[in-house]
Amino acid sequence: MRLSPQAARLGLAAVLCVGIGVRAGSQAPPQAARPPVGPPTPQSTSTHHPILLILTGNNPGWSARIGLKGPDRLERTGYPPIVLEPGEINQEAATNSWTYLAKDSATGAAVALHLIRAACSDGATDTKYTFGVVVDHAQIGQLKGCARIAPDQFPEFKQKNLDDDDPAKKKPVLPGITKFAAPVATAFLDPAGKVIFARGGVKKIVAAKGGELAVSHDGRKLLFTRPDSKTGPERTIVLYEFETGRSRDLQHGLVRQPFWSPDDGRVVYLNGVGDKWQVWAFPVAAPEKTAALSATSATSLYGWIDAHTVLATDGQSLYWISEDKPQQNVGLKDLYGDTFQILGSDAIRVNPVNADLLLVSADYVSAPAGSPTDATGLATGFFLYELRSKRRVVLSPLDQLARAAEWSRDGLQVFYTRRLNTNVSSTFRIFWDGSGAKRFQEGTELVVGQ
């Protein structure tokens, strides 16, 4: 049955009034009064707690929702949204205070949202809020802010009132990711192993063989390494310019894993010195001026964090090697946990807009139930890790063999190589909240420039 707009508005007012309770001192309606015309109050709505609330706070920026069944979503600036599983709702001793219990659906961490009816200001705008809020997340910590009733932000509530006879439309509708930028410049390996550089829809074959691709931030240049020996580890770092189609060799010998600096003015790479690898760097305009960035031994390099800091590992710890700050490190066992193996072939990438958020590609210690495995019996995937909170979330779909995950420049998308069968792999894309996984294009090892 579809209600008229007037009846739907009356139904909305009735549910909100029940949801937030009757204020002290208000007059009860006379016994002869008839209830407003509208759909019945949802069974999940309690007469003792507010519903349909938007919670928000600053320093750091965050927001959350309290829907018909309780908390359902927590968002923080620079991080993927957290889906919450609502639990019990407890009213405090004071009649205008409530605690909503929930669980982080990805990690199982306990979450409690404490709500009190009191005038509240966010300190950043002139907006006046009806409630004050404190959110406690067992991993993330405490977030403080304000809340307001906002039924227009809950599409599932409108559907419940306007389409009550359609069960398919009663499911909560959470906002999807729509404001993302498609990459302008990418590089990848085609099925034959050729190095391909694509920009603005134009694709160019760069080399018959190569690897360790890195596109400049302006999307006009490509670094890759070319093997110099069929049996030895010697390689050459090559620079290719898209507009001219010219290539030039920059470094030879025991060289690996080149990365562009944020301003595209320098290149950092691993250089074999004696019996160990070290992090070296050189100006693009003068590659002969290469020099050690650090004497620290490293087994893998993961790129720049800022204009003076790079990320590397020695197989035991993750290091922030900096020209202007003390060196910091995190143990890889803390990063990987008990779910993933630590291998030199793993890829670790820092989110372009949030240096606290890492993307890690690795092998599982043991294959999850329902996950495919490769010829060696290993299952591969990738996960997100927050350095401050130590929150770890598997992002790759469990039914896929996924590896070589790379961020888009907007930090909202992840491009990765998926093995489809023994002989075929392709590039897929997924959003950072785990949604929208789909095939992106043919080829593997894709990296994003502009």
Residue 273 sits at the vertex; the CA angle it makes with 263 and 323, to the nearest 5 degrees, is 35
Residue 23 is predicted with a pLDDT of 35
Tens digit of pLDDT for each residue in 69-100?
Answer: 999 999 999 999 999 999 999 987 767 999 99
Q: What is the pTM of this model?
A: 0.86
Same domain, yes or no: 422 and 306: no
For position 375, what pLDDT does the model report? 87
Residue 29 lies in a domain: no
Residue 355 domain-assigned? Answer: yes
> In degrees rounded to 5, what are phi and psi of residue 58?
-125, 165
Inside any domain, residue 99: yes
Domain check: are 273 and 304 in the same one?
yes
Query: Using DSSP, how many helices (H) and how many strands (E) does the chain show?
Result: 3, 32
Bridge partner list, 73: 65, 83
195 part of a folded domain: yes
Among 286, 318, 333, which residue terminates a domain?
333
Question: Is 318 in the same domain as 223?
Answer: yes
Whether residue 174 lies inside any domain: the answer is: no
> Residue 160: its pLDDT value, please?
55
Specify if 28 maps to a domain: no
Average confidence (pLDDT) per 10 residues, the chain, 450 residues: 41 41 37 38 54 93 94 96 95 84 97 95 86 97 96 74 50 70 95 96 96 97 94 94 97 98 98 95 98 94 96 96 92 96 95 97 94 92 97 97 97 97 93 96 95
Single-letter amino acid code for the residue at 339: T
Alpha carbon distances (Å) from 52 to 8, 55, 243, 279, 314: 16, 10, 54, 53, 50
According to the model, what pLDDT value does residue 26 have?
Answer: 37
Tell me the residue range of the domain where 235 lies: 211-333
Q: How many domains does the chain have?
A: 3
Same domain, 49 and 151: yes
Is residue 219 located within the same domain as residue 199?
Answer: no
pLDDT of residue 49: 85
Say if residue 48 is in the same domain as residue 162: yes
Same domain, 84 and 119: yes
Burial class (CB in 10 A: 0-12, 13-18, 19+), 411: buried
H/E element, 156: helix 155-162
Rounded-to-integer distance, Cα 318 and Cα 301, Å:
10
